[in-house]
Amino acid sequence: MDYRRLGSAGIKVSSLSLGSWVTYGSQVDVAEATACIKAAYDEGVNFFDNAEVYAGGMAETIMGEALRKLGLRRSSYLVSTKIYWGLEKGPNERNTLNRKRLIEGIEGSLGRLGLDYVDLLYCHRADRETPIEETVYAMSDIISSGKALYWGTSEWSAEEIREAWEIADRRNLRKPQMEQPQYNLFCRERVEGEYARLYEGLGLGLTTWSPLASGLLSGKYNAGVPGDSRMARPDYAWLKEKSLTPEKLAAVERLSQIAKELGATTAQLALAWASSNPRVSSVITGASSAAQVRENLKAVELVGRITRELKERIEAAGASDRKAP
Ligand code: NDP
């Protein structure tokens, strides 16, 4: 495993990590989650991603139980959570980053995880109503209380991240250290374009999500929709509709050819490509089985083989705006 600093912070995260969206609490129970986390940890993964909203809080409960069952040394791994959508419907309980929500949110997450602190705490989306200053003060206070060690954002605009950072800088508060954006061969603009000035400028680290575009970049959907897959789930019909387009499937076909030449799987190629971007501190993978975890983590060995020339080939093959044949 390769370990990278989270932007300018001293903390190091494994270049591939493991998340829990869709899986824990919906497809994966405590036993399977324990097997997935063990498979990942045994290969050197030190970062496990979560959010209060995943499976209505169940993903945190399951991850906490799995970590306790495995009895891992707390200092050997990082756990994250994210707050914004909330679990209740009241005006101060959902879709907000106000002080009350953040302070109560972290308490709820720690209770479900059974932990004294999370390592990374994210504002899961931007809140256009709460003043950014209020959010920065609350996040900074949570860090000072020891309930989280670093804070960051997820899918905030570059402008919003800069504003939060500048408020923290002016007021001598804890600065946002990392952002969690989507990044895969079909979704590149934010990481490669919009955020370009933030890496050196603010020392921002990235932990990126959906590296396989929800499994599409594994190639398994090119032969139809497997019954046990994410896209077969009725609650994710919206995802299937936007993902399984002829253009994207044709791009995956081209990528599979390149993977074959390299003796790798299509999933490994897509993960290695994402990890080959030096701005990405950790690529958060997702898996519904320990077998997928093991296959995916082998991508680490492929990263060093991605030369500039190969990268260009992969990116040309992955361009999904080409018309399908
Ligand atoms: P991916 O795009 O990698 O999709 C993961 C899914 O693809 C798996 O659950 C599995 O689904 C399928 N898959 C994985 N590996 C393979 C394989 N080798 N062969 C075949 N199918 C495979 O990642 P996610 O979309 O899960 O995102 C990763 C993590 O990022 C999440 O768990 C979460 O922690 C985080 N995230 C953060 C967001 C944010 O807003 N900050 C948003 C979304 C995710 P199946 O077997 O069911 O088909």
pLDDT (0 to 100) of residue 202: 97
User: What is the DSSP-derived secondary structure letter of residue 263?
Assistant: T
Pick from 16, 21, 60, 156 the residue to mutate for probing ligand 1's pocket: most ligand atoms within 8 Å of its CB: 21
CA of 163 to the centre of ligand 1 (A): 30
Answer whether 21 contacts ligand 1 (Cβ < 6 A): yes
Whose CA is closest to atom 34 on ligand 1? 19
CA of 288 to the centre of ligand 1 (A): 8
Answer whether 284 contacts ligand 1 (Cβ < 6 A): yes
Residue whose C-alpha is closest to residue 104's, from 119, 116, 87? 87
Q: Residues 71, 38: contact at Cβ < 8 Å?
A: no
Instruction: Locate the ligand 1 atom nearest the alpha carbon of residue 265 and give its number.
Output: 18
Residue 38: partners with Cβ closer than 8 Å, 6 or more residues away: 70, 290
Answer whether 320 contacts ligand 1 (Cβ < 6 A): no
> Which contiguous run of DSSP H or E holds residue 317?
helix 308-318
Domain-by-domain residue ranges, the chain?
A: 3-216+277-288
- First CA to last CA distance, the chain: 39
Residue whose C-alpha is closest to residue 74's, from 119, 107, 105? 119
Euclidean distance between CA atoms 217 and 214, whole angstroms:
8
In DSSP terms, 224 is beta-bridged to: 222
Amino acid identity at 29:
D
CA of 286 to the centre of ligand 1 (A): 3
Residue whose C-alpha is closest to residue 208's, from 268, 274, 157, 152? 274
Answer whether 220 contacts ligand 1 (Cβ < 6 A): yes
Euclidean distance between CA atoms 317 and 320, whole angstroms:
8
Whose CA is closest to atom 35 on ligand 1? 209
CA of 77 to the centre of ligand 1 (A): 20
pLDDT (0 to 100) of residue 324: 57
Answer whether 43 contacts ligand 1 (Cβ < 6 A): no
pLDDT (0 to 100) of residue 321: 75
In DSSP terms, 184 is beta-bridged to: 187
Active site residues: 54
Instruction: Please count the residues of the chain.
Output: 325
Whose CA is closest to atom 38 on ligand 1? 209
CA dihedral 182, 59, 14, 228 (to 10 degrees): -70
The CATH H-level superfamily of 3-216+277-288 is NADP-dependent oxidoreductase domain (3.20.20.100)
CA angle 88–156–101, rounded 5-degree value: 25
Q: Reduce the secondary structure of 14-60 to three states and give it as a string.
A: ECEEECCCCCECCCECHHHHHHHHHHHHHCCCCEECCCCCHHHHHHH
SS3 167: helix
- Residuewise pLDDT in 10s, the chain (325 residues): 999 999 999 999 999 999 999 999 999 999 999 999 999 999 999 999 999 999 999 999 999 999 999 999 999 999 999 999 999 999 999 999 999 999 999 999 999 999 999 999 999 999 999 999 999 999 999 999 999 999 999 999 999 999 999 999 999 999 999 999 999 999 999 999 999 999 999 999 999 999 999 999 999 999 999 999 999 999 999 999 999 999 999 999 999 999 999 999 999 999 999 999 999 999 999 999 999 999 999 999 999 999 999 999 999 999 987 765 5
Answer whether 181 contacts ligand 1 (Cβ < 6 A): no
Answer whether 286 contacts ligand 1 (Cβ < 6 A): yes
Answer whether 210 contacts ligand 1 (Cβ < 6 A): yes
Euclidean distance between CA atoms 201 and 224, whole angstroms:
45
Q: Tell me, yes or no, if the pTM score tops 0.95.
A: yes
